[in-house]
Copies of this chain bind each other. A is one copy, B any other.
Amino acid sequence: MARADGAARAATLSDVARAAGVSLATASKAINGRDQVAPATRERVMRAAEELSFTPNQLARSLIAGRTGTVGLLTSDLEGRFVIPILMGAEDAFGAGQVNVFLCDARGDAIREQHHLKALLNRRVDGIIVVGRQTDPRPSLGHDLPVPVVYAYAPSDDPTDVSVTPDNVAGGRLAVEHLLACGRTRIAHITGDPEYAAAQDRAIGVRAALADAGLELVGDVRFSTWSEHWGRDASAMLLAQHPDVDGIVCGSDQIARGVLDTLRDLGKRVPEDVAVIGYDNWEVLATNSRPELTSIDANLQQLGRTAAMRIFEAIERTDGAEPGAGVHHLPVRLVIRGSTVARR
């Protein structure tokens, strides 16, 4: 166990001041790079700090400054599939080490969420990012909080809150436009739970892009669960009913994996006979399939950066106004692999 030698409490600024033979204030100025201190004095202070391995106590600083340089990340994303890239983006935006993030997992429990919220406020975080695991609107934390709040991935159901979420409609469009560009015209859509806004929004985008091209979807949108099993079953049914389908937009990479399985079983070549596109760009799934999976990437890291920047802006301004209230739909991105474009 790494422990300081004995009960040696951490050195304080006054220890440093005494060791350097200066006053507390001077030591403070020297340490903080204030310019009202003689070079020689500063040197002495710095050396003393070094020898005592002095670490400025952020608690005390924060108490004075009224800001802690910390942000709370309140999530219900158990698997961490969405929250991790968002967290990384937020760290990027804040600048590593400048701001630290408290990560709290509410596990989908409103009581626990309330509990964590309170704890975060007690610790005087400067802002809170709320990350949901679906893109369905979630209950607002309310407006009577003393710190700015940004909702990421799952938007708030209150339009006067600030929310950033991926543009699923655009994602659906993008998928279809890519298949069209690949020369496909008989396109079907297999997706997940119809209760999810993500499923509905992507389907809207799919239909809109087809309509723009003067085409119709092959069969209805096939909703069920976000699983490989469903991908396998749905594509088997689809091929039985519409053997001429030449492109399949999938609502998730998992579904797409199932679709690839079935196509393989049926002796269909991908992408020659049927092109397949997934959604989420979950690398472990997308890059290990046969062929590798073209997919839509929601740019979650960028989303995290944006959320962090919004928080930052809100912290900076003192007038309490909430800039950019409303739901911001962030652009998504196409990642092309072998399931839509044959390798040569």
Contact yes or no, A1 B55, CB < 8 A: no
Contact yes or no, B56 A122, CB < 8 A: yes
Residue count of chain A within 8 Å CB distance of chain B: 83
Contact yes or no, B1 A148, CB < 8 A: yes
* CB within 8 Å of B: which A212-248 residues: 227-229, 232
Q: How many copies does the complex hold?
A: 2
Whether A87 contacts B103 in the complex (CB less than 8 A), given A80-B80, A121-B55, comes out as: yes
Stretch in contact with the other chain, from A2-10, A33-41, A197-205? A2-10
Choice from B55, B80, B227 contacting A288 with Cβ under 8 Å: B227
A284 within 8 A of partner (CB): yes
A10 to B4: give the CA distance in the assembly, Å.
37
A316 within 8 A of partner (CB): no
Whether A57 contacts B124 in the complex (CB less than 8 A), given A2-B143, A91-B105, A116-B97, comes out as: yes
Residue in B closest to A80 when the chains form the complex, CB atoms:
B84
Contact yes or no, B88 A3, CB < 8 A: no
Task: Write out the residue numbers on chain B whose beta carbons fall within 8 Å of the beta carbon of A289.
Answer: 228
Most chain B beta-carbon neighbours within 10 Å: one of A6, A66, A100, A261: A100
Most chain B beta-carbon neighbours within 10 Å: one of A91, A121, A146: A146
Fill in one digit per residue for A100-115: 1 if any B CB lies within 8 Å of its CB, else 0: 1111110100001001
A304 to B83: give the CA distance in the assembly, Å.
19
Contact yes or no, B84 A79, CB < 8 A: yes
Stretch in contact with the other chain, from A16-24, A183-191, A319-327? A319-327
Task: Write out the residue numbers on chain B whose beta carbons fall within 8 Å of the beta carbon of A73.
Answer: 103
Contact yes or no, A115 B97, CB < 8 A: yes
Contact yes or no, B68 A1, CB < 8 A: no
Task: Write out the residue numbers on chain B whose beta carbons fall within 8 Å of the beta carbon of A227.
Answer: 288
Choice from B2, B107, B284, B325 contacting A147 with Cβ under 8 Å: B2
A257 within 8 A of partner (CB): yes
Contact yes or no, A4 B290, CB < 8 A: no
A181 within 8 A of partner (CB): no
Contact yes or no, B96 A115, CB < 8 A: yes
Task: Write out the residue numbers on chain B whose beta carbons fall within 8 Å of the beta carbon of A141.
Answer: 2
Fill in one digit per residue for A55-83: 1 if any B CB lies within 8 Å of its CB, else 0: 11111101100101010010000111101
A79 to B144: give the CA distance in the assembly, Å.
35
A254 within 8 A of partner (CB): yes
Choice from B70, B229, B323 contacting A1 with Cβ under 8 Å: B323
Q: Which 9 A-B pairs have CB atoms at the shortest separation, nearest pair first?
A: A80-B84, A228-B288, A1-B322, A103-B103, A2-B145, A58-B122, A80-B80, A2-B149, A4-B146
Name A's B-contacting residues (CB within 8 A): 1-10, 53, 55-60, 62-63, 66, 68, 70, 73, 78-81, 83-84, 87-88, 91, 96-97, 100-105, 107, 112, 115-116, 118-124, 140-149, 161-162, 227-229, 232, 254, 257-258, 261, 284-285, 288-290, 314, 318, 320-323, 325
Q: What are 22 pairs between A and B in contact, CB < 8 Å?
A: A1-B149, A1-B321, A1-B322, A1-B323, A3-B147, A5-B320, A7-B320, A9-B66, A55-B122, A57-B63, A58-B122, A58-B124, A59-B59, A63-B63, A79-B84, A87-B103, A87-B105, A96-B112, A100-B102, A103-B103, A227-B288, A232-B290
